[in-house]
Structure formats: structure tokens, C-alpha cells
Amino acid sequence: MTKTMTCSQLGGPCDLQHHGATADDVINAQDRHIKEAVAAGDSAHEQARKDMKWRWIHPKKAMGWYNDTKQAFADLPED
């Protein structure tokens, strides 16, 4: 069982699809995608990278985003 979320559904600027069996799978794929995009010079992903860093620095405050993302993932149909 897998589900799909796009970069934009996770707060990023593009429609790249991330597939996973859990919300954490797609969140981790998004984190890798954003890091790689910024490292490659993609300025469109810079704000998403800053937001991602903020979540790691302030995990208690970021729980709202995390819980919302988990719920959005749960509400998706299976692929």
C-alpha cells in the first residue's frame, strides 16, 4: 500500500511526486528532494528549505505542520 503526495502538498514549490507507505516516508522524501534541489542551485526551493530547517530547530512548534501532514496523508486514497 502506497500513497502519493507532491512537493507542493508538503509546502514546496513544485509538483514532484513522493510515494510512500507512511506519512514519514513522504516527509523524508520531501526533505531529501528539497536539500538536493537547493544544493543544485534551485532558488525556487530555498524558502521550503528554510521552512524545513525551522521545523528541525523548533520541533515542538512544528508539530502542527507534522500532524496536519500526517492527517492529509491518511485522507489520501491508496495508489
| Domain ranges for the chain | 3-75
pLDDT at 54 > cutoff 90: no
For residue 12, count other CB atoms closer than 10 A to its CB: 22
The 3-state DSSP composition of the chain as helix, strand, coil percent (nearest 5) reads 65, 10, 25
CA pair distance 71, 79, nearest whole angstrom? 17
CA pair distance 10, 29, nearest whole angstrom? 10
Q: Looking at residue 51, what is its pLDDT?
A: 87
Q: Rounded mean pLDDT of 60-68? A: 88
Task: State pTM to two decimals.
Answer: 0.89
Q: Looking at residue 38, what is its pLDDT?
A: 96
pLDDT at 60 > cutoff 90: no
